[in-house]
Amino acid sequence: MGFAIIHTDQGSQYACGEYRRLLYTSGFQQSMSRRGNCYDNAQAESFFSRFKAELVENGIFESVEQARSEVFSYIEGYYNRIRLHSGLGYKSPLQFEKELKIKQRSRESFVS
């Protein structure tokens, strides 16, 4: 069984002993950005800015279960499958992976 990694910047709230103990006793592993390197969090910051703007902004969930369901649907149904990503040449992850597999098969048949 794996464990969850909680990644943060080096803010004092994340470096304090109480927070670190809470992570440890809850079975999480802590990960922190390198000092002064904002690029360590770039992917997470990008995701959460889109997440807030596209799902959470002005939204109110009626229950924790509704929030869980909406978050799951957003991440697994939209963000990881349909949403166009600039880092993938403005393709969806599914489209990008499909094209990648075709290229790989083409290379394998060329080498054979």
33 vs 83: CA distance, rounded Å: 27
Identify the pLDDT of residue 2: 55
Low-confidence ranges of the chain (pLDDT < 50): 1
pLDDT on residue 8: 83
User: In a 10 Å sphere around its CB, with 0-12 CB exposed, 13-18 middle and 19+ buried, how is residue 30 labelled?
Assistant: middle
- Reported pTM: 0.58
Of 101, 106, 45, 54, give the one whose Cα is nearest residue 75: 54
Query: What's at 82, amino acid-wise?
Result: I
At residue 39, the pLDDT reads 73
